[in-house]
Each structure stands twice: as C-alpha cells, then as structure tokens.
Amino acid sequence: MADPIISALVEDLVGRLTSAAIQEYGLLRGLEKDLSALNKTFELIQAVLYDAEEKQKTQMDVEVWLKTLKSASLEVENVLDEAKTEAMIRRLHREMGKKYRIRAFFSYRYNPVMVRFRIAHKVKNIRKQLEDIDANRSRFQLISNTRSEDGAGIGSKRETSSLMPLTHFDLKCWVYVSSVFDVKRIIKAICGLEDKKLDEMSLDELMRQLQNKLEGKKYVIIMDDVWLNHDSHEDMEKWEELCTALSCGAKGSTVMVTTRKEDLAKRVAIPELLHNVGVLSEKDSWSIFKMLAFPVRGVGENSLGSLMSTKETVEKWQRVNKNFKLNIQDNVLTALRLSYDDLPPHMKICFAYCCVFSKGEELSKDTLIELWIANGFIPSQGDASLYELGEDIFDCLVGRSFFQDVVEKNLYIGETCKMHDLMLDLARNVMTHDCAVIGPGKEPIIPDKVLHLSISCEAFEFSNQYLKNLRSVRSMLVFDMFYQSSIRQISSHVYLRVLYLNRIESLTLPESICKLIHLRYLKIYWSKIEVLPESIIYLQNLQTLILEGCDELRELPKGLRYMRNLQRLDVGYFNKLKHMPVGIKELTNLRRLSKFAVGRDKGARIGELGNMNLVGKLMLSGLENVGGLREAESANLKDKTNLKSLTLQWTDDERSETNDSEVEGLEPNSGLQELIIQKYMGRVISPSWLVKLVNLTSIQFYEVNKCEQLPPLGKLPSLKRIQLYNMNSLKCFDDHDTATSKDEILFPSLQELEICFCWSLVSLPNNFPKLQSLKIEDCHKLGSLPDEIQSFKDLNQIAIWRCAILSRRCEKGIGEDWPKIFHIPHIDIQPPL
C-alpha cells in the first residue's frame, strides 16, 4: 500500500524551501544556493511522485527509491525545523538578558557559530543525498504528473485528486474560476507561482511564464465554474489572450471549461465538443433517495457510498464500481482502500495516524486536531487557522465514513468520534513501517526508524535494541500503563514532536527535556509531578501542554512567558497550584487555559487575562485574592465571547468574607453556557449580571456554606440543569422565583435538579414544567414535595436519599407524599441513616 507520508511531506517541503520562507530562518542565510537546489530537486521529484507511488506496487526498486526519498525528506524537515527553533532560542537568550547570552556563547550546544556550522553541514549532506536520489529517478521512466491546485480549500484538492488517473498527460491542472475572471490568479494556479512573485510580475511576464511552463507538454487543464461576462469586451479580450498563451502545448493538449451559463458555453467552445449535462432520470433519482433514506449496512458499502458522492460523472462512478467489485472479491480491507486512495495526501496521513489508538476507543476531535498540527500534517493556507483547517479535515473524514458515531460529549471533552475496526485495520496496514502499536497480549515489534510508537499494555520495558530503533521516533504515546523506564531516556529521542506519558513516578521532568526542541505536544497523565524544570522554556515549538490528573502540581516555570507558541495550557482543576507565573499575558497565542490561580503575595494578577482570547472552559481559583471591583473587571471576562464554561472558586477559609463587588466585576459574556461557583463565602450571591446569561444551560453551586438564598434562577430561559452541593445555610430559592403574572413561566427549560447536603433547605419552588429528573440527598429539614409535582408531565426519575423527613413522607404506599409521585416511572427512596 502506498506510503501516506511521502506525498504530504514532499508537498510541504516544496512550499517551505522558497526564498521567502528562508528569510524566517536566519541561520539558513548563506545557504540559499543549497536550499534552492533542494527545492528544485523536490519539484522535479514531486512531478513524478504519483507515478512512482503507483509503480512501487509492482516494482521493488521503485519502492526502495521511495523509502530512500522519504528518509531524506524527513531529514530536510528536521533541519528546517532545527534552524527555525535555534533562531527562536537566540531570541529567547536576548530577551532573558546579557547573562544568558554570555552563557550561550560559551556553550557548545547554543554557541551561534557552532549551531550555524552544524546546520550548514547537515544541509550540504542532505543536498548530496537528494542529488543521488534524483539521479536514480530517470532509471524508472516515471511520468510527470504536476498537480496545480487553486486555493479553494479542501474541495479543490478533491477535484485535483480525481484527475490523477489520467497518466497519459504530462501536466494536469484544475482551476476554480468562479464569478471573478482573474487572469493572474488562473496563471498562478497553473504555474504554481507564489503570491509574492505574482505581485511583482506584469501580465505579459506571467504569460511568458505560462508559455514556458506548457511549451512542448501535453496537458489537460480544467477551468471550473467559469462566469465570464461574454458581453464584456474586456473579459472576452482577456479570454482570447489566455487561449493564445495556452495554445503552445503539444498535440493532444486539452482545455475543459465548465459553466452554468449556456450562452457563454456556446461562445467559448467548439460546438461539436459542447456537452450539456442533463438531469437525472426519475429512476436514478429514486435509487439515490432510497440509498440515503435507508442507509447501507456494512462499513465497506458506507465507504463506497461516501466515495461515490465525490464523483461527478458516470464514467467515474463506473470506474469506482468496477474497482470495488474487483477488490471486494479479495477482501473488504482492499475495497476500503479505494476510498483511502481517493484522499489528498494531507488527509491520507491525518487518517493513517489514527492507527496509534485502540479499537473501540472514543476519540476527541480536539485531541486529533492537536496531534495532526503537532506532527505537521495540516498544510497552511494563508492566514487561516490550522485548527480550523483541521476541523475541515475532520468533517471531511466524517463525511467519507472514515470516522463514525460523532457526538458532542460536554463542554470539556467536546466532540468525539469512533473508528470502525476495519477502518483502524486499514490505518495500521497503511502505516505498517512507520508506526508500532504495542497492545496487551501482543509480541512487541518495533521496526527500524519507526516514526510513531503507541503502547497500551500494563508493563513494557525498552530494551537497547528498541531504543536504537526509536532514534527517529516523532510520536511516543504511552497509554494505560505505568511508565517504568527512566524518564531521562526520553531526552535521547530528539526528534519527538508528540510525547504522551502515563503515571510516571518522578516528581519532576529532567532538565534534559530541553533537548526535545521539536516537541509540539506534551501530555503527562495521572502522575506525581510537582514542578516542571525551568529548562522546559527551551521547548520553543511547544503548542500543547497538558498535565491532567497531576494533583500534586504546585508550581509552573517562572519563564513560562517565553513559550510564545503555546496554544493550550491544561493543568487540570484539582491541584495545589497557588499562583500563575508573572507575564503569562505574553502568551498571545494561548487559546485554551484550564485554570488561572490568583496568588496572594506573588504571581500573576487576574488582569493578565485581560487581552487573552480564550475558548472552552476556564477555572478562576484564589478569587479571595482579587482586590476589589476594578481588579476583577480587569480580567475582561465580559469580552471573552468564545468562553463557554466558567468556574469561580474561592478558598474554604471560614474566616474570610467575600466582597460582593469582586463577584460583580467577574461578569462573563452573555454566551456562557455553564457557570460553576465554589466556596463562595458571602451570605447572598446575586450579581446583577446573572439574569443576563440567557444562554446559560447549567449552573452548579459547591460548598457555598454561608449563602442563605439563591439568586433568581427561574428567570434564565435556557437553564436545563441546577446542581446544589454542600450549601449548609441555604433555606430557600430566591423569593422572586414565583410567577408575577399568569403568562410568566419560571424555569421554562429546567430538566435536571440535584440538591445534596443542603441541611437547612425547607422548601422548593413549585414551577418546573419541563423537569425530567429530581434528586434530593441528605436535606434533613425539607418537609414536603410541592403539590404541583403531580403535574410535571416530563418527570420520569426521582431519587430521595437519606432525608430525615422527606424519605418517610415518600415511603411507598404509606407516606403522605407517595400519592404525589407514585405515577413516576423510576422512583428511588432511601431511608435516613
């Protein structure tokens, strides 16, 4: 099966080895000639890459050539990454001060001259390797297959993909034209010119570039969705100029135009070659309707249906159908490969990487995208967010049935999916040589130069041979086991981009972790980590840092402010962190922050959150250290429109008294969906902004021991869940939670009400028209249920546990309140202790 890495890797390197990109890597200046030669070699190889991937299926020497190419390409990527990182480390030393610059100068590892020498040596060695690889290219008589793609997102790549089987053309190109007939943009798409080069050239120069590109070549160019104004002299003149430039190709060259304007088609096409696409027959339409209304059963058929949906002609359908019938006789996995082969290179590797997970595992969309980004699988597109591009890839893989069972779990986990076992088998088959998956009951096999390692067994020891085979590893994911090997061994895997460790015994990471300069994703799960070493700031590429379940964590590195590529910092919620390092506001790329601890005498103040554009879920702890209304407002929570869940936490110091103005200043945005309040020490909690949270669906109060009365929650139109825990002084809901008119409905959306350990509560509201679940636990003064509970038509579950009065009143058959609840389907009554 074709290697998914090579095409995606070469495509990425061709873009990165441009003169514009080189300017970003100061350490590469002076090597422009070598890098230009590398880029030219990659362009020549890219032109024949598809044909080579096809021929390797039957020619062993081509397969060996591709493996050599992949190895060299990975080295090029490593060197470019190293150069970029070293430039960032030099900037880091400048920012940290003169002492660090002097120390770096006398260090073999960071001395600028030595670093430059090492990188130059690597570049020249790789250039020699690539020249040898390119010299062997001619032996295989590979056919050129240039792929030119316009910037129309994923759709354009899919269209280009469908042209790939046309191997008798030297050049194939698909251009999405749309309503703006921009000749420069069309030429750019055909020639593959960079935007900056394009801006500097006149139209005449671009025409000459186009002619040089096409001269003597047999090509096919599809101009899709053309909307020329055929009555415009200027537009038609541009069209004629373009046609003249396109006329220099070899005999058999073809230009195909698709348009929705019939009069334009007649104007630009040769009449006998005009093809008017008709509508589907009633029979064919009914067949499609049945297929969609009554889905196919098997994963193979599902995959086939998704694949067919991307094909626009009868010929393409017939070709897929024929291949599917031939392959299905072999096995289902081979048939599924048809859908895989139809993916563009970057989607192939994104899908194939999922082989690191276990069968039946629920996969987080956020985690998948973060791992794809960390490994460099998502190609950039201008200023578009890589995360958003990752979401597009995820949606496309779902649409093509590579992922299934997509559900929205909650605000913390987000969207999840699963992979059918056969799809996971396909991914592992594709990544046979690049990924080692070690599971329970399986003989460990780690191929030489493996790139990705996944371990999901209770115990595993790295032998010396295993460590040798891991010298090129880029992902190490240790699931479901104690990491028993010395954590210092990890520092030898210098090309790691992803590191996931589970239950390590060490109280900190080794200082040598700074050697992992390529690392983008670091997750440590359920471990005893107390602190992180200051050397971690040298991980200048780190984008995701997750310390989940590390309850002993008490301090973050002081230099955290220098890790400016950090996009997610997840330290969990239940740890000993007392303050955040000063300067965290300088992490301008940070989009996810799980917890911000406000320190008393040291650490960052809450105002450092002010300019952060955070998304998802945020906990603010140590709020008793906020100095009044103005400082609380400096957090600017009101403008954080992408924040969906907010936890406000104080300490449990009984002697402290919360200042109401602090709560008033912590007003969140009106789009907030979940609010959690913990250990608030005021007697009344009723900030004016609470009733503005019209999108709030869940509110939870924990250990709010002094509060005697709840705010007017009945006015919140979207509220579906209320949870009250350990509110020792609470006597009632808000006095205003009674309807002021016949037309007013309180708690209009509430479905779940849970009240636990509220020892002073004496009554409940009587307006819960949509309530589905009611749980009351250890509420000893609550005397009765409201009479209106009999009219709660949606209530199907009630649990009353260990309530001194209410448990007896609801006792089956004999309790005074039993007639109010006997009709409810699920009843659970537990007597008081």
The predicted structure's pLDDT at residue 159? 39
DSSP bridge pairs for 732? 709
Orientation angle between helical segments 314-328 and 299-308, nearest 10 degrees: 160
Scan for tokens 């008119």, then name that residue: 741
The predicted structure's pLDDT at residue 585? 97
Assigned token pair, 309: 């949906």
At residue 564, the 3 state secondary structure works out as coil
Assigned token pair, 538: 């040298």
Task: Please check whether residue 397 is in contact with residue 427, taking contact to mean a CB–CB distance below 8 angstroms.
Answer: no
Can you tell me the distance from the alpha carbon of 434 to that of 71, in angstroms, rounded to the nearest whole number?
Answer: 11
The predicted structure's pLDDT at residue 160? 37
HSE (side-chain half, CA atoms, 13 Å) at 150: 22
The predicted structure's pLDDT at residue 656? 62
The predicted structure's pLDDT at residue 155? 35
- Distance of CA 805 to CAs 28, 126, 207, 406, 781, Å? 79, 81, 89, 45, 7
Residue 73 one-letter amino acid: S
Strand order in the sheet with 415-418: 363-364, 415-418, 404-408
* Contacts with 284 (C-beta within 8 Å, 6 or more apart), sequence order: none
Closest CA to 832 of 776, 787, 786, 785: 776
The predicted structure's pLDDT at residue 331? 60
The predicted structure's pLDDT at residue 458? 72
Closest CA to 525 of 495, 496, 554, 545: 545
Can you tell me the distance from the alpha carbon of 118 to that of 420, in angstroms, rounded to the nearest whole number?
Answer: 46
The Cα angle at residue 530 between residues 478 and 593, in degrees rounded to 5: 75
Averaged pLDDT in 10-residue chunks for the chain of 833 residues: 80 79 67 88 88 88 94 95 92 88 80 89 94 89 58 35 53 74 80 58 82 85 78 78 82 82 72 69 69 51 58 62 50 76 90 95 96 95 90 93 91 92 92 90 82 85 75 90 68 94 86 95 93 96 96 96 97 93 97 95 95 97 94 97 97 69 94 96 88 96 93 94 96 66 83 97 92 97 93 96 96 95 96 89
The predicted structure's pLDDT at residue 634? 97
The predicted structure's pLDDT at residue 346? 92
Which parts of 17-147 fold into alpha helices (H)? 19-22, 32-55, 60-96, 98-105, 112-137
Can you tell me the distance from the alpha carbon of 596 to that of 126, in angstroms, rounded to the nearest whole number?
Answer: 46
* Contacts with 24 (C-beta within 8 Å, 6 or more apart), sequence order: 84, 87
Phi, psi of 727 (to 5 degrees): -105, 85
Can you tell me the distance from the alpha carbon of 735 to that of 770, in angstroms, rounded to the nearest whole number?
Answer: 21
Can you tell me the distance from the alpha carbon of 1 to that of 430, in angstroms, rounded to the nearest whole number?
Answer: 6
The predicted structure's pLDDT at residue 447? 84
Phi, psi of 643 (to 5 degrees): -80, 125
DSSP 8-state code for residue 413 = T
The predicted structure's pLDDT at residue 245? 80
- Distance of CA 138 to CAs 48, 65, 132, 611, Å? 10, 11, 11, 56
Can you tell me the distance from the alpha carbon of 140 to that of 817, in angstroms, rounded to the nearest whole number?
Answer: 87
- Distance of CA 346 to CAs 4, 154, 158, 380, Å? 8, 10, 11, 11
Can you tell me the distance from the alpha carbon of 442 to that of 31, in angstroms, rounded to the nearest whole number?
Answer: 48
Can you tell me the distance from the alpha carbon of 660 to that of 476, in angstroms, rounded to the nearest whole number?
Answer: 48
* Contacts with 359 (C-beta within 8 Å, 6 or more apart), sequence order: 419, 421, 424
The predicted structure's pLDDT at residue 146? 44
3-state percent helix, strand, coil for the chain, nearest multiple of 5: 40, 15, 45
